[in-house]
Structures are given as structure tokens and as C-alpha cells.
Chains A and B, each alone.
Chain A
């Protein structure tokens, strides 16, 4: 039993504070961006189209809702979870928070790709704050992927430990 516990803990390394901190900062920026969009949407401000730029058309599109809830609200909750998970990781360094960050940032990246597709192909208009959000979630996915491969996930450690146990 004890050996198994060692095995599972040894499998994960420590993400440097600078990387986890960067994920926290980018996640916080994404939270502000998504919350601003949510507030704009919920306060019902009139839309505008700009001469050198796009329109607020994306926020008025039916694609901006999922189950009757604005996508930006899901975005705010998503970024809030990223912020809380990264603070928890920085504080406790427990692998579960690192895994949560990897799952969250991957989901964020996949959904960002879908939202970019919606804007480019379905709505044929871009919204500035949505593109910013695609940027923040992609940055966080890259940062977390680097952290995962370089520092966090250590299959070779678990393999060596397990061979010790067998031996």
C-alpha cells in the first residue's frame, strides 16, 4: 500500500512558480475580458459597427448563446476556475491542481477553436473581446503543455520507482 502511494506521488514533478504564476496572470486577464463581455451582454447596451473594424455582431448572434446562457458567462466561470486552480497549485503544489489546470486549459483551447470557427464561418464577423479570449486560452494551453511535458508529468520516474518495487 505504502509503495503504491510513493508511486503515485512520484509520478508528478513540480511546476515552477513562474509558469504557474504566468497561467494565473493570463487566466485573470481572460476572466476580466470574459466578464466585461458578459456584463455588456447582460446590461443590454446597443450595438455598434465601427468604420475601421468590425461590429458587435457576434454578441447579437444566436451562436453567442448555449442553453440560453451567454457563452461569455461560461467563459467567465472557466477563467475563474483557472485562476482558483492556479492559486491552489501555487499554494499547495498538489498534483490534483496541476491535473485540473491541464484539463481546464485543454478544454479552453478546444472551445476557443470552435468559437473561432463560429466567428469566421458561421457569423462571418469577429468580436475583439472574443479574439482576446481565444488568445488568452491558447496562451494558457501552451504554457500548461510546456509545464506538463517539461516539469509536471514524469512517467519515467514512476517507471523507475515501480522497477525498484518489483526488484
Chain B
């Protein structure tokens, strides 16, 4: 075979490979069948009016880097659509994250004093400093102090059955909905899929608000 023909074949194969790979990378991640999530209950951590027509539920893990990467987009959305959406945070601590459960307990304990979202924000904003720490609780106590939380009460609540039960309920609800990764979002009960960027994610929620106003 002529060298020019061989090189032409090589170039064509490489171009086809690059084209296919870019197409694959662009394809949205879908996780197949998804079940339904439990209804919003009084025990849920929520933000926004309870009677909102648009409800976003996030199943998340405070130690998950992807959830922390999503945090600014979620925060922007909550600020931009303040009063128009109900945002619900549910725990889905992953087994590979050693401090995820403790962080969820810290947020739950803060929630008992009405400071869930302050702790939620502090946990994501400072994830890098506590996620691999052997003394993560010390960091959580510091965030609690900054948020004006009663530390004595916080220390009691962090290991309370009430806080642990809520995390277990969230987790089992997530399993029933076939969640296998974090963050996983549900928009009006339907799993959000098919977005390729944080902007596309935000646009899906904005569109739901437009359609329901």
C-alpha cells in the first residue's frame, strides 16, 4: 500500500475518533429509570414560600466536591428567584466521604436552632478545609459560633437521634428514587437531566418559573 494512502487512512481514523469523542462528551448524563421522591414534609430543610408552584429538591452530600462546585449556581438561583421557588435540601452522604455524615449532622443540629442555611453555606464554602480533616467537628463548631448558634445545644443536637433519623430518612428516600450520585436535583418531582452546564441547569428552573407564573 502506498504511504500516502496509509497516512490518509490514519488521519481519517483519528479525525473520526476525535469527532466521536467530542459527541460522547457533549451527551448529557442520564441515569436511566428514576423513581419518585418522598413528598415535602415539615421536617425538610426548605428555603422559599411553601406554596411555590416550582419546587426544587436537591439530594446532596456536604463533602462531595461536585456538590460544592454546584453550590454557587444553586445559591445564584435561590437569590435570583427568591420568593418564586421552594428549594429543599436533602442529605445523601456518600460512603467514600468520611466526614459527610458528621457534616450532615452539623447542618441538622444547626437547623434545630433555625440556622440550617447558614451552616449549609459555611460547609460548602469551606469544604476544602474540613473534608479530609480528622477533627472536622472543630471546624463545624467554629462555623456554628460564627452563625450565632448556641454551641452547648449544638453539641447535644449533633449526636441526637432526631438529627440522625432525618438523615436516614433522606437517604432511604433517595435510594427509593434510585439516586446513585450527587448532586441530584428534582424539579417539581421530576429528576433534572440533560443539562451540560450550570447555566443550562439554571435555565431549566427559570423556564419552570416562567411556565408557572
Contact = CB atoms under 8 A, between A and B. Distances in A.
B201 A46 contact: yes
A47 interface: yes
Contacts of A36: 21, 24-25
B108 to A, nearest CB: 20
A42 to B, nearest CB: 8
Q: Could you say which of B10, B21, B70, B132 has the most chain A C-beta atoms within 10 Å of its C-beta?
A: B21
A125 to B, nearest CB: 7
**Dominant secondary structure at the B interface:** helix
B22 A39 contact: yes
A54 B96 contact: yes
Given A36-B24, A48-B181, 18 more contacts: A31-B14, A31-B17, A35-B17, A36-B21, A39-B21, A43-B22, A44-B196, A45-B196, A46-B66, A46-B195, A49-B61, A50-B180, A52-B95, A56-B66, A57-B65, A57-B66, A60-B69, A83-B10
Given A54-B96, A87-B10, A43 B181 contact: no
Interface residues of B, number: 36
B94 interface: yes
B3 interface: yes
A49 B65 contact: yes
Interface in A105-134: 124-125
Contacts, number: 89
B94 A51 contact: yes
A91 interface: yes
Contacts of A142: none
A55 interface: yes
Contacts of B132: 124
Contacts of A51: 94-95, 179-181
Contacts of A57: 65-66
Contacts of B94: 49-51
Given A31-B17, A80-B14, A87-B10, A55 B65 contact: yes
B64 interface: yes
B6 interface: yes
Nearest to B201: A46
B6 A87 contact: yes
Nearest to B67: A49
B156 interface: no
26 contacts: A28-B17, A32-B17, A32-B21, A35-B17, A39-B26, A43-B25, A46-B195, A47-B66, A47-B70, A48-B66, A49-B64, A49-B65, A49-B66, A49-B67, A49-B94, A49-B97, A50-B94, A51-B181, A53-B96, A55-B66, A60-B65, A60-B69, A80-B14, A83-B14, A87-B6, A91-B6
Interface string B1-36: 001001100100110011001101110010000000
What 8 A-B pairs are tightest by C-beta distance, nearest first? A39-B25, A47-B66, A57-B65, A49-B64, A40-B25, A35-B21, A50-B181, A39-B22
Nearest to B73: A46
A46 B201 CA distance: 9
Contact of B198 (A46, A48, A56, A84): A46
Interface in B169-198: 179-183, 195-198
A150 to B, nearest CB: 26
